[in-house]
Chain A
Amino acid sequence: MAANPLITFTDVSVRFGHITAINAFTHSVDSGEFVSLVGPSGCGKSTVLRLASGLIQPTTGDIERSTDNVGYVFQDPTLMPWRTVRKNGELLGELEDIDPGERRQRADEVLELVGLSDFANHYPLQLSGGMKMRASLARSLLLEPDLFLFDEPFGALDQISRARLNDELIALYADRRFGSIFVTHSVDEAVYLATRVLVMCSRPGKIVAEFSVPFDYPRDPSIRYSPEFTKIAGSVAEALEEAS
């Protein structure tokens, strides 16, 4: 694969007071790559995403990013309860001063993409957890980011919604090939989605293992039961066990 780094971390460390959250973190994500990040709780995964987005700055080290168009999906849907689904979808367009007609049209398109067209005029209060997450996904799709950051977005969902959203995300990725860093606690989800899985350890957080996942996109749900998938997932789980 031609090296076309979207974001590069060079020897990055982050300290909060005297806690070293991340140390000697060196890694890069190429454009079009889907990287999953797993690790024990508190190891610094969210911190990596916050660094990648520019929300926080490294204490030492360097981060280089070749794009400013970054999408961020949080663990909670974090919709604005006072806005309808469509208006929530328009938010980032508003913040980027896209004109109203254009952003409304784009919002309708992304809602269509995540299957929420029929709920455009509903308030978040009226949606299920899975639908809220879809709306949140739609919101960050509006600006067609080059780099997508996901912080355990499906962690709070039931198994069925989660599997369905995994497939929808894969379809989106197969279509658009945005670069991604996807944080999750589920080894199965990490392997199923990604081209590459990174395993982090804690105190201080750094990458201890890396696995590439050879399956093509779009992926068929049945690959989950293939021996190759099981083997990779097994190795990831083992590395995670060791890191914890």
Chain B
Amino acid sequence: MTGSMEAGMIDSSPEELSRYARLKTQFRIGLPPVLVFFVFLGLWYVVTYFVLSADRRWLLPPPHQVVAEGFFVGSTVTEILNGLWQSTKVALMGLGLAFLFGFSMALAMSQAKWIERSLYPWAVASQTVPILALVPMIGFWFGFGVLARVIVCFIISLFPIIINSLTGLLSADRELHSLFTLHNASRWRRATRLQIPAALPHIFTGLRTAAGLSVIGAIVGDFFFGRGEPGLGLLLDKYASRLQSEELFTTVFVACLLGIAVFWGFGYLGRRTVGDWDPYWAEEGLT
């Protein structure tokens, strides 16, 4: 650090150079996806104006029209933002519950082989359950409101949390375990000073995956549980049935943004928490 400061005082060029290099790298990383975006927009226009005849154009209205009607009509904006808030709330509550439950389960599994052997098959089963098959039952038991939606999110995001937490908890170095054994560490100490810290990078990986799934769960759950404040899923349903394609596309776009935001948010949390010392998350920080 001091080295580069001294270099900067004598001759500013190395630092300038590195800033230029960094910009160049960012540009190189950022440019291709942006180009793809423009290609995508171009294709969209092509389909709208050259593939679809005028009377069928409502199937795919041009991007500028979507933006104008979806983002600049006050009542629509309010409605979509409300739906966004509802879905976000449901997704985060489901994720939170899944984390509390999943992490506790993984912690129990990491403490004794017999617990692991008893629970592991069920953890795997929780992933293989076709969630749609459960939906009617969830509605039957928990009503068709927020609780039912939260439970869908919970089920759908549980597996990656359990598996990643467990992998992490079991990843602590064997010789470090030996040191804890040699110094007669209690189970509590071993868990809090060795296993849980060792698990953190994996836990964040699991959380990030689970968060994405939870957003999907919130939107899917909405389709089936019609009651309560409408989330993004219900709006999609409503706009589609009324052929309001501009609003429909905007909602799809917002749902994508929510997914990205959640993925990025947990990525950020991971980098902040373990990026200093974990090679994987440190690398994540560069991109």
Residues of A bordering B, CB below 8 Å: 53-55, 70, 72, 74, 76, 78, 80-83, 91-92, 94-96, 123-125
Q: Is the CB of B179 within 8 A of A91?
A: yes
Using known A-B contacts A78-B173, A82-B197, determine if residue A72 contacts B178 with beta carbons closer than 8 Å: yes
Q: Is the CB of B175 within 8 A of A94?
A: no
Majority secondary structure of chain B interface residues (helix, strand, loop or mixed): helix
Q: Is the CB of B183 within 8 A of A96?
A: yes
Q: Which of B180, B182, B183, B200 contacts A82 (CB 8 A)?
A: B200
Considering only residues 176-191 of chain B, those with a C-beta below 8 Å from chain A are 176, 178-185, 189
Tell me if B106 counts as interface (CB < 8 A to partner A). Answer: no
Q: Is the CB of A123 within 8 A of B178?
A: no
Q: Is the CB of A78 within 8 A of B277?
A: no
Using known A-B contacts A74-B175, A80-B197, determine if residue A55 contacts B282 with beta carbons closer than 8 Å: no
**B273, closest chain A residue (CB):** A82
Distance of A81 Cα from B201 Cα, bound (Å): 11
Tell me if B278 counts as interface (CB < 8 A to partner A). Answer: yes
> Residues of A contacting B284 with CB < 8 Å?
none
> Residues of A contacting B175 with CB < 8 Å?
74, 76, 78
Given A53-B178, A53-B182, A72-B179, 5 new contacts (CB under 8 A): A70-B182, A76-B173, A95-B189, A125-B276, A125-B282
Q: Is the CB of A78 within 8 A of B276?
A: no
Task: Name 20 interchain pairs, CB-CB below 8 A, sorted by A.
Answer: A55-B178, A72-B178, A72-B179, A74-B178, A76-B173, A78-B179, A80-B176, A80-B198, A81-B278, A82-B197, A82-B198, A82-B200, A82-B274, A82-B277, A82-B278, A83-B277, A92-B183, A95-B180, A95-B185, A125-B282
Q: Is the CB of B180 within 8 A of A81?
A: no
> Residues of A contacting B19 with CB < 8 Å?
none
> Residues of B contacting A53 with CB < 8 Å?
178, 182
> Residues of B contacting A80 with CB < 8 Å?
176, 194, 197-198
| Cβ-Cβ contact count across A and B, 8 Å cutoff | 51
Distance of A72 Cα from B182 Cα, bound (Å): 9
Considering only residues 189-212 of chain B, those with a C-beta below 8 Å from chain A are 189, 193-194, 197-198, 200
**A125, closest chain B residue (CB):** B277
Q: Is the CB of A54 within 8 A of B197?
A: no
Q: Is the CB of A55 within 8 A of B183?
A: no
**B180, closest chain A residue (CB):** A95
Tell me if B279 counts as interface (CB < 8 A to partner A). Answer: yes
**A74, closest chain B residue (CB):** B175
**Size bracket, chain B contacts:** 20 to 34
Residues of B bordering A, CB below 8 Å: 173, 175-176, 178-185, 189, 193-194, 197-198, 200, 274, 276-279, 282
> Residues of B contacting A76 with CB < 8 Å?
173, 175
Distance of A96 Cα from B274 Cα, bound (Å): 27
Q: Is the CB of A124 within 8 A of B277?
A: yes
> Residues of A contacting B194 with CB < 8 Å?
80
> Residues of A contacting B185 with CB < 8 Å?
95
Q: What is the distance, in angstroms, from A92's C-beta to the closest C-beta of chain B?
A: 6
Distance of A53 Cα from B189 Cα, bound (Å): 21
- Which residue of B182, B185, B198 has the most chain A CB atoms within 10 A of its CB atom? B182
> Residues of A contacting B179 with CB < 8 Å?
72, 78, 91-92, 95
Q: Is the CB of B282 within 8 A of A95?
A: no
Q: What is the distance, in angstroms, from B139's C-beta to the closest C-beta of chain A?
A: 44
Q: What is the distance, in angstroms, from B174's C-beta to the closest C-beta of chain A?
A: 8
Q: Which of B182, B193, B274 contacts A54 (CB 8 A)?
A: B182
Q: What is the distance, in angstroms, from B106's C-beta to the closest C-beta of chain A?
A: 18
> Residues of B contacting A95 with CB < 8 Å?
179-180, 183-185, 189
Distance of A82 Cα from B178 Cα, bound (Å): 18
Q: What is the distance, in angstroms, from A56's C-beta to the closest C-beta of chain B?
A: 10
> Residues of A contacting B176 with CB < 8 Å?
78, 80
> Residues of A contacting B189 with CB < 8 Å?
95
Distance of A70 Cα from B182 Cα, bound (Å): 9
Distance of A94 Cα from B180 Cα, bound (Å): 11
Instruction: Sort A-B residue pairs by CB-CB distance and give the 5 closest, nearest first.
Output: A95-B183, A123-B277, A78-B175, A74-B175, A82-B197
> Residues of B contacting A123 with CB < 8 Å?
276-277
Distance of A53 Cα from B179 Cα, bound (Å): 10
Distance of A197 Cα from B234 Cα, bound (Å): 78
Distance of A148 Cα from B178 Cα, bound (Å): 15
Q: What is the distance, in angstroms, from B187's C-beta to the closest C-beta of chain A?
A: 13
**A97, closest chain B residue (CB):** B183
**B190, closest chain A residue (CB):** A95
Q: What is the distance, in angstroms, from A105's C-beta to the closest C-beta of chain B?
A: 20
Q: Is the CB of B197 within 8 A of A55?
A: no
- Which residue of B175, B184, B189, B274 has the most chain A CB atoms within 10 A of its CB atom? B175
> Residues of A contacting B180 with CB < 8 Å?
95
> Residues of A contacting B181 with CB < 8 Å?
55
